[in-house]
Amino acid sequence: MALLLLLTNYDAVAQNLKNNQELKISALLSRENTVLLLVDHQVGLLSGVRDYNTAELTHNIVALAKAAKVLGIPVIITAVDSNGLWGPTLPELVATLPNVSIIKRTSINAWDDANVVKAVKATGRKQLLVAGISLEVCASMPAISAKEAGYDSRVVIDASGTFNESKRIAGMQRLNTLGIQVTDYATAAVEMLKDNADPLSGALYNAIDLSFSNIVYELSEATKKSIK
């Protein structure tokens, strides 16, 4: 059984790479060809997350949004039943992207909403980064549907969250089987930055807010001052 799963996953990944080559899509994220879709990062859903500390998850979501803003990546935000059970979009996310209108919908799969699809298509970009709560529904379903529609979908695992370990495992296994890459928010950001000599690098590293990099930066600055 384990061997069968391994072979199935290998075939799915190989097919995904072949599809990307045919569409002339890079295996790496391109700043010029990526669009970010943030799905159902809402107060009510966040309260149920158990695979991440909610403060950490909020930090990651906001850091991903800030990184996209720095790099000029188009961001689409959508929320389901925001006036009902699942509550409003995270205020920290709204504050980070105040000029991004939130697409309200009723469909469980965000890709079933015509306005979401229209917004993605309007960017003219083919690499779709998706994050959402929950991982196995709100992030995975639109990523799967977008892949079927010809997009190179990737799921940002640490800017998504879910409600128990079984759901996390099932979601990850499904993505893996279907050949959809997963990444983390900081890797996605620096992948699109490409070069530390880029004038945006300082702002980008500040946006992703990795604790260790902040310490390294402070030490570096202190060393420079002591040399002077």
- Decide if 200 is catalytic: no
3-state SS of the chain is CHHHHHHHHHHHHHHHHHHHHHCCCCCCCCCCCEEEEEECCEHHHHCCCCCCCHHHHHHHHHHHHHHHHHHCCCEEEEEECCCCCCCCECHHHHHHCCCCCEEEECCCCHHHCHHHHHHHHHHCCCEEEEEEECHHHHHHHHHHHHHHCCCEEEEEHHHCECCCHHHHHHHHHHHHHCCCEEECHHHHHHHHHCCCCCCCHHHHHHHHCCHHHHHHHHHHHHHHHHHC
Annotated catalytic residue, options 138, 189, 192, 207:
138
Residue 78 one-letter amino acid: T
Cβ neighbours of residue 170 closer than 8 Å, sequence gap 6 or more: 136
Question: How far is Cα 193 from Cα 81, in angstroms, rounded to an integer?
Answer: 35
Tally of CA atoms within 13 A in the half-sphere of 27 that contains its CB = 8
Residues involved in catalysis: 138
